[in-house]
Amino acid sequence: MTIESRVLAFTTLPVFERGGGVQTMLFSNKELGAHITSGVTRFPVGGSIPLHYHNCDEQTTVLEGEAEAEIDGRRVRMRPYDTAVIPQGRHHRFHNVGTGPMMILWVYNITDVTRTFVETGETVPHLSPRDLAASRLPAGPSDRPERRA
């Protein structure tokens, strides 16, 4: 398949509502002929999605705000342009611990990305209706990131 060069205007990208004010915008995927999947996710103050892992490697860069990255039980504060490299199968999530919006850029090294939710063990296609619905569920006590000063 020939991949066509293109410029994607951010304001024209579809917005995936993940619940709690968390929004995802998709940049590249299989439908565009890409060999990677990438996009951004915007989190309001205190926003996060459930602890999960993927069937591929992930690189995530904080573009705006302050995040707490939880990767394999370890929590690390991240600021703009700090980047996490997360190997396939590693449990992780990002939580906005700043005083304003937080945005991350994420890149997966494949196009058939899945997300497995740690709490339930359910595996779903990335950004599928089930993925978006599961992200809307409230975090349980063991799944709620701690706020750190």
Q: Residue 106: beta bridge partners?
A: 39, 60
Residues written for the chain = 149
What is the C-alpha separation between 78 and 143, in angstroms, rounded?
A: 19
- Residue 114 forms beta bridges with which residues? 125
Beta strands in 9-51 (DSSP E): 15-19, 22-28, 37-43
CB 68 within 8 A of CB 78: yes
Please report the pLDDT score of residue 2 as a whole number. Answer: 66
Cβ atoms < 10 Å from Cβ of 119: 14
CATH architecture of 15-141: Sandwich (2.60)
Report yes or no on whether pTM surpasses 0.85.
Answer: yes
CB burial class (10 A; 0-12, 13-18, 19+) of residue 129? exposed
Q: How far is CA 2 from CA 8, 50, 149, in A?
A: 18, 36, 49
**Residue-level pLDDT at 144:** 40
Q: What is the pLDDT of residue 29?
A: 87
Which residues contact residue 25 at a Cβ distance below 8 angstroms, ignoring those fewer than 6 apart?
Answer: 10, 13, 14, 15, 16, 39, 40, 41, 42
Task: Say whether 129 sits in a helix, a strand or coil.
Answer: helix
Cα-Cα end-to-end distance for the chain: 50
Strand partners, 48: 95
* pLDDT mean for each 10 residues of the chain (149 residues): 80 92 93 90 96 98 98 98 99 98 98 96 95 69 40
Q: What is the pLDDT of residue 145?
A: 41
